[in-house]
A and B are shown apart, each in its own frame.
Chain A
């Protein structure tokens, strides 16, 4: 892995691994509402300084420029420990980066230092009922009224709905211009008219829900970047985050492989550890090989984003596509090795099986990644 990393990346990985092993894994207090767990995790991640990698130096972060490699290392290590820790970390990056990209000095000062500390929880609201992969089809309106905008519409699958302190929201300011009429806004979580309508329960729990904007009036200071730049901001944000989804997949798969190895050595059937059966050995070999390939694709994409620039889009799509699909297979095989005990609710394998599934869907489905890859190559 060394070619893609500087010494400080390697140090960060050791630090993250240590925190996961010593603080996250031994924790037993997973009771309580998911929202409370999420808020607490965000604070802890902030307290450890991990969230400082999600914003740049001039806004309370650590590095002059955000690096995809930092985000990937942290997501891999956190996902290896616990899905919710990864989600909370990733959301700070996703909800913060549009402000990094397009925010005014005031907007940056208001939101980013809090995101870097974990005191401010971030949300990113683009998806709607009829606008999933086809983001440009969004129906939410932001109508200008003098120096204000009135936001009307409903967003769904919004992570951190209800606990977020900042929401980056995408709405159409000029519906006639279609995708070029979409603008981005950043709102405080307490903005009147911003209502959490529903908490959505998912296969793998995390705070997520439906957010409705009813007569939500904000001043034009809430506009992020210029009018009509919204989709560009959204896509540029996703370009950074895409390979990090692959990194989370690598983290889940790494954990699954470790669990499978541990279990197959300990479990005895037909008079010997099942690890001695070829049926298991070959699974382990295939899982480990796919995992390495996925990890290389992820860090190559992250390195390309940080250091080379050109072709980063295609490479990050390849990384996300391959790593999330591979992780799905690896987790499935690890569960197969565990047999019935992998199905018991609350066990690590049962959790991983649920946790890994969303990665092939969010921030661009596998199918959308393939479209991006093919179009980059064919253009």
Chain B
């Protein structure tokens, strides 16, 4: 086993860290407070190649691999978790088109996502289809050389601002999940209403509803065949899940760093509070959870780079990292006390942002279900 990162990966990570600290950090608190979406930063991350690590050069990527992707993502999330969401919204659709698209689709759809010129998204969740993806109700009816979408999607990251992205709908509801189809849609068509939603955290990542009323998608924008949608969706979620795991890692690290800094500065009862055993206990636990999660995330990414199946390992990594982030944010708030609770300091932002990692891309409960069902032999995760 080799635990050393290559020089190339270290350079990539350092570049992301430098960018995050110089470009994102100075305005992170203000952006969060004002709920600023930052298309300029999305563009800049594209220019630096942060979306391209899992995409070959001929489609506008750089092919550095999945380890590079998780390293970059952790660095960005460490400084501002909401900006991590922006990365996933570019990478998720791009990887899915790369895996399931025709040559023409790849050439057309991927490069603008890589550069950040097009803001991406993926639209799966509906009011009555959360963990139970197959329960979605949006339909796509063929109408000549196009499909007409009807239905509504909810909790779609980038919904208020996206230019194009993935959407899943039923072309044949009688076939149950085998009747689901995936599309890559341009949203600049009539028949789409966007409604923004407010959430607890990730305030710079706009989120909302997409409501379709005979919304047209040309037949050439269909990914794969009719009926491939569920398979594509599950594949896509496994990829975007790994990015979430890396994001959670960033939040865990940010919270731990804030707690350690504070412990070394704050004096009570005549000594630095880091010298109290109770705080040492919390810091030790934060580090253990975070380090364990990092090894799991890197393993899942490494497997992907080796072209080996990693669904199970990704679920394990995402579950662990999400729990680590929430533990760390809670522990940091305990250590910082009223300063942690105050909006003057970033710990309350970590606390709010951490929560989403236990929910998105398969909740912690869904990850546990995947892990347990694999162990019990009911449903193998790596098929």
Residues of A that sit less than 8 Å from B by CB: 277-279, 282
Residues of chain B with a CB closer than 8 A to A279's CB: 277-278, 281
| 10 examples of A-B residue contacts, CB within 8 angstroms | A277-B277, A278-B276, A278-B277, A278-B278, A279-B277, A279-B278, A279-B281, A282-B277, A282-B278, A282-B281
Residues of B that sit less than 8 Å from A by CB: 276-278, 281
Q: In the complex, what residue of chain B is closest to A277 when comparing beta carbons? A: B277
Q: For the complex, give the distance between the alpha carbons of A279 and B278 in Å.
A: 6
Main secondary structure of the interface of A (DSSP, over half): helix
Residues of chain A with a CB closer than 8 A to B278's CB: 278-279, 282
Q: For the complex, give the distance between the alpha carbons of A277 and B276 in Å.
A: 9
Residues of chain B with a CB closer than 8 A to A277's CB: 277
Shortest CB distance A337–B (Å) = 13
Shortest CB distance B230–A (Å) = 31
Q: For the complex, give the distance between the alpha carbons of A278 and B268 in Å.
A: 14
Most B CB within 10 A of own CB, among A277, A278, A282: A278
Q: In the complex, what residue of chain B is closest to A280 when comparing beta carbons? A: B277
Q: In the complex, what residue of chain A is closest to B279 when comparing beta carbons? A: A278
Q: For the complex, give the distance between the alpha carbons of A278 and B281 in Å.
A: 10
Main secondary structure of the interface of B (DSSP, over half): helix
Q: In the complex, what residue of chain A is closest to B281 when comparing beta carbons? A: A279
Q: For the complex, give the distance between the alpha carbons of A282 and B278 in Å.
A: 7
Q: In the complex, what residue of chain A is closest to B275 when comparing beta carbons? A: A278
Shortest CB distance B278–A (Å) = 5
Q: For the complex, give the distance between the alpha carbons of A277 and B281 in Å.
A: 12
Among all A-B residue pairs, the 3 with the closest Cβ atoms: A278-B277, A279-B277, A278-B278
Shortest CB distance A190–B (Å) = 47
Residues of chain A with a CB closer than 8 A to B281's CB: 279, 282
Shortest CB distance A269–B (Å) = 13
Given contacts A278-B276, A279-B277, A279-B281, 7 further A-B pairs with CB under 8 A are: A277-B277, A278-B277, A278-B278, A279-B278, A282-B277, A282-B278, A282-B281
Residues of chain B with a CB closer than 8 A to A278's CB: 276-278
Q: For the complex, give the distance between the alpha carbons of A282 and B281 in Å.
A: 11
Q: For the complex, give the distance between the alpha carbons of A277 and B277 in Å.
A: 7
Residues of chain A with a CB closer than 8 A to B276's CB: 278
Q: For the complex, give the distance between the alpha carbons of A279 and B277 in Å.
A: 5
Shortest CB distance B310–A (Å) = 32
Q: In the complex, what residue of chain B is closest to A279 when comparing beta carbons? A: B277
Residues of chain B with a CB closer than 8 A to A282's CB: 277-278, 281
Shortest CB distance A273–B (Å) = 14
Shortest CB distance B314–A (Å) = 29
Residues of chain A with a CB closer than 8 A to B277's CB: 277-279, 282
Q: For the complex, give the distance between the alpha carbons of A334 and B297 in Å.
A: 36
Q: For the complex, give the distance between the alpha carbons of A45 and B282 in Å.
A: 47
Q: In the complex, what residue of chain B is closest to A282 when comparing beta carbons? A: B278
Q: For the complex, give the distance between the alpha carbons of A55 and B328 in Å.
A: 54
Q: In the complex, what residue of chain A is closest to B276 when comparing beta carbons? A: A278
Q: For the complex, give the distance between the alpha carbons of A278 and B275 in Å.
A: 10
Q: For the complex, give the distance between the alpha carbons of A282 and B277 in Å.
A: 9
Q: For the complex, give the distance between the alpha carbons of A139 and B273 in Å.
A: 62
Shortest CB distance B335–A (Å) = 13
Q: For the complex, give the distance between the alpha carbons of A89 and B280 in Å.
A: 45
Shortest CB distance A282–B (Å) = 5
Shortest CB distance B206–A (Å) = 37
Shortest CB distance A286–B (Å) = 11
Shortest CB distance A287–B (Å) = 15
Shortest CB distance B218–A (Å) = 48
Shortest CB distance B275–A (Å) = 10
Q: In the complex, what residue of chain A is closest to B280 when comparing beta carbons? A: A279
Q: For the complex, give the distance between the alpha carbons of A279 and B276 in Å.
A: 9
Q: For the complex, give the distance between the alpha carbons of A358 and B277 in Å.
A: 33
Shortest CB distance A271–B (Å) = 15
Shortest CB distance A333–B (Å) = 13
Shortest CB distance A262–B (Å) = 21
Q: For the complex, give the distance between the alpha carbons of A278 and B278 in Å.
A: 6
Shortest CB distance B267–A (Å) = 16
Q: For the complex, give the distance between the alpha carbons of A278 and B274 in Å.
A: 12
Shortest CB distance A375–B (Å) = 20
Q: For the complex, give the distance between the alpha carbons of A47 and B276 in Å.
A: 53
Q: For the complex, give the distance between the alpha carbons of A279 and B282 in Å.
A: 11
Shortest CB distance B269–A (Å) = 11
